Amino acid sequence: MTTPKGGVGLSNGPDLSTLLEATLFGAGRSLPQSELAKQFDITESTIRIALLDLQKSISERKETALQLTEINRYWVLEVKPELSNFIPQIARTEIPKRLLKTAALIAYHQPMAQNKLVEMVGQVTYEHVSDLRELGLVDKRRDGNTRRLTTTRRFSEYFGCPHTAASDVAAWFKEQAKEMGLTGSQLAEALSGDEGEDSDFSEESLEADVLGDLPENIVTEEE
């Protein structure tokens, strides 16, 4: 039995896997591996082993509705994707409206350089990307000196997209916009519910990339 050294658990209390499952279930969102290690006062390598053990244990349970998923060292206890369409809307996690526009732009233009998103929505990009990553909806990976943003499987589940590959999700979003007679910015505005409000990005900056992928020679950016 694995127990935390101190802080949260006691040596005669529940084992670490049980506490991790309770923590992730109670959080209702993805939590960074590093933060879990800090909260349980153990090394990150130890917490990772415990998380992997828990992931295996949950996957071996019969008739369970949950799965433990890792997305770029963030862990989330979530409903299995094959059950998501059967769950009433009232039970689904909602994305804050302030994040929907940014989420839609990432989906529409992925794989997207973070500095390109900054040009469209301003400095609030960094806060929004951090929040979307915490929700397990967006992944950010280093590509040289650039950060590339893509959507996750959980994102596809939330929006009802039948694809998970970045290029396929982007194509699907563009097709949805086309069928609705919307431009890229109009789709983002419609999803955010901010139609008609001022925004920090222009129609032209979005339309430039609607029918094609982002160029490879995107300038570098700061973290």
pLDDT score for 135: 84
Distance CA 2, CA 4 (A): 7
pLDDT score for 128: 94
* Domain residue ranges of the chain, discontinuous segments joined by +: 16-89, 97-207
Answer yes or no: are the C-beta atoms of 68 and 31 closer than 8 Å: no
**Can you list the residues of the chain whose pLDDT is less than 70?**
1-12, 84-85, 87-93, 184-185, 189, 191-223
CATH topology of domain 16-89: Arc Repressor Mutant, subunit A (1.10.10)
Q: What is the DSSP string of 116-131?
A: HHHHHH-THHHHHHHH
pLDDT score for 167: 87
Per-residue b or e along 49-73, where b marks 16 or more CB atoms closer than 10 Å to that residue's CB: ebbeebbeeeeeeeeeebbbbebee
Q: Which CATH class is domain 97-207?
A: mainly alpha
pLDDT score for 87: 67
pLDDT score for 26: 83
pLDDT score for 215: 33
